[in-house]
Amino acid sequence: MAYSDKIRGTYQTQIKGIQDAGLFKQERYIHSPQAADIEVEFPAGSPLKKVINMCANNYLGLSSHPDVVKAAHEGLDSRGYGMSSVRFICGTQDIHRELEQKLTEFLGTEDTLLFPSCMDANAGVFEAILSKDDVIISDRLVHASLVDGIRLCSAMHDTIKHSDMGHLEEKLQLHADKRFKLVVTDGVFSMDGDTAKLDEMAALCEKYDAMLLVDESHSSGFIGKTGRGTHEKCGVVGKMDVITTTFGKALGGASGGCVSGRRELVELCRQRARPYLFSNTIAPVVVAGVLKVMDIISKSTERRDKLERNAAYWRKGLTEAGFVLREGDTPIVPVMLFNAKLAQDVSRALYDEGIYAIGFFFPVVPQSQARIRTQISAGHEIHHLDKALAAFTKVGRKFDILGKTKQEIIAKYGM
Amino acid sequence: MSDELKDIVLNYVTKEYLEDDSEPLTYETPLISGGIVDSFSMVSLKRFLENKYGIAIPDDEATPEAFDSVNKIVSLVQRFVAKKG
């Protein structure tokens, strides 16, 4: 053992630095299943408090749906708890392949490979399909897991300004000499809730002979008329070369993810992607749950339709109350506060009012763009949204930010 | 060449990396350490300079430190242009 006082002191100083900068993240303990109504212990040791959850990725309200829980129980009974193996040794059950086939059909692709998470899918896909002769051109606001995956790959990496199609075209021209070009974007951007222009991107990729990869983690299951994702909304199903997505959000919210797309690209991931090769298979109980989720959302659009109505109701209510919002039409509705401390103070005041919504600030979002990111669910009823709107309005009045512009809020609270 | 080169680099960095409401850059503004340009996004600037001046900047010379201000970038480019003769 060599964990000396010097080593400990160095790490303690780093942690104190995070606290002093106001960037320390503190977990809140939830004592109930994930849902619109939850019971929370916060701060640690406090009595449980019933609050409305306004910040889960539980978009379709399926995280604790009785049919999903029942299917998971049945999966547990019929296929066991764990596989004690990676996929290619002895960790692939019939239901793993069944889920891959269902996802392929749902996403409108050629093949699919499961990963322990979408973080792992994004970590593995680039290295598996690209080399140093290639270039990746990504939107500057893509998710951190894509950035990490790109860093693990030897291909050149360039970026474009967020959703700037003129800039993308310039970059496709600049890198015309590369063997392959891969354009990378989120479908729905997780912090701003806006949607990628996938139709324009697909057209540019076709024009310049580039492949297109989209991370649909914040869209699979509910964006597009039948919930297939941003590519459905933009009318380009079948034109995506690679889709990565998660089961940890709308699709049951447990864990797991996938790479779906062109047959050869998926096969190369099966042969080479390190998180697939060196990490355990997804537990059978989770696979059984996701299979039920796929059944539910393939049979009916009821839940995504309700989510769409809820999100519109919520956005309208906040706008009328006088908050500054990021524009968009997804269930991610960021309430802009700009100042990091203000975002934390508003979050705490909302909690006192029975509303659970977290403040986001640098480095999760750019400097001076602190916010409360609210996320709407099909599990919310109108009475949840009305109660949350009343609480937001009360807190907004207390901090005197209602009806104020960005400049006025910054003038009052600083950047 | 130095002043012209400085302005070419400054203009490119402004157009490529800054948002419309950003503070204007100076020749000394820290680009990478100041969070204006991330190390990934340096690639397009490097390729732009290589194409424009007919030089090749090896990866081990294209460090975040060497690209951290307009003045530093200009010094780097001038060194490779001089080498080219």
Q: Are B42 and B32 in contact (CB under 8 A)?
A: yes
One-letter amino acid identity for A201? Answer: M
One-letter amino acid identity for A407? Answer: Q
Any idea what the Cα angle at residue A76 is, between residues A75 and A82, rounded to 5°?
115
CB–CB contact A174 B40 (8 Å): no
The rounded distance, in Å, linking the Cα atoms of A85 and A34 is: 29
Q: Which residue of A lies nearest to B16 if distances are taken between CA atoms? A: A161
Nearest to A291 by CA among A39, A158, A94, A128: A94
Sequential pLDDT tens for chain A (415 residues): 799 999 999 999 999 998 888 778 889 999 999 999 999 999 999 999 999 999 999 999 999 999 999 999 999 999 999 999 999 999 999 999 999 999 999 999 999 999 999 999 999 999 999 999 999 999 999 999 999 999 999 999 999 999 999 999 999 999 999 999 999 999 999 999 999 999 999 999 999 999 999 999 999 999 999 999 999 999 999 999 999 999 999 999 999 999 999 999 999 999 999 999 999 999 999 999 999 999 999 999 999 999 999 999 999 999 999 999 999 999 999 999 999 899 999 999 999 999 999 999 887 888 789 999 999 999 999 999 999 999 999 999 999 999 999 999 999 998 8
The rounded distance, in Å, linking the Cα atoms of A292 and A63 is: 12
Of A150, A174, A367, the CB nearest to B44: A174
- List A163, A190, A219, A220, catalytic entry: A190
Q: Which residue of A lies nearest to B49 if distances are taken between CA atoms? A: A174
Q: What is the pLDDT of residue A51?
A: 98
Burial-class residue B58 by CB neighbours within 10 Å (0-12, 13-18, 19+): exposed
Chain B residues whose CB is inside 8 A of the A161 CB are 19
Question: Does the annotation mark A218 as catalytic?
Answer: yes
CB–CB contact B40 A150 (8 Å): yes
Question: Does the annotation mark A96 as catalytic?
Answer: no
Q: What is the pLDDT of residue B1?
A: 56
Chain A residues whose CB is inside 8 A of the B14 CB are none
Helix (H) or strand (E) holding A66: helix A66-79
Q: Are A53 and A36 in contact (CB under 8 A)?
A: yes
The rounded distance, in Å, linking the Cα atoms of A222 and B39 is: 35
Helix (H) or strand (E) holding A136: strand A135-139
The rounded distance, in Å, linking the Cα atoms of B74 and B6 is: 6
- List A65, A171, A178, A249, catalytic entry: A249
The rounded distance, in Å, linking the Cα atoms of A196 and A199 is: 9
Which residues of A lie inside 8 Å of B (Cβ-Cβ)? 138, 140, 147, 150, 156-159, 161, 171, 174-175, 367
The rounded distance, in Å, linking the Cα atoms of A143 and A60 is: 21
Helix (H) or strand (E) holding A214: strand A211-215
Residue ranges in A221-283 assigned as alpha helix (H)? 230-233, 263-272, 274-277
CB–CB contact A158 B40 (8 Å): yes
Q: How many CB atoms lie within 10 A of CB A29?
A: 13
CB–CB contact A159 B40 (8 Å): yes
Which residue reads 């393939």 in tokens?
A298
ipTM for the whole predicted complex goes beyond 0.90: no
CB–CB contact B38 A159 (8 Å): yes
Q: Are B71 and B6 in contact (CB under 8 A)?
A: yes
Q: What is the pLDDT of residue A249?
A: 98
Q: Are A274 and A295 in contact (CB under 8 A)?
A: no
Q: Peptide bond preceding A43: is omega within 30 degrees of 0, i.e. cis?
A: yes
Question: Does the annotation mark A249 as catalytic?
Answer: yes
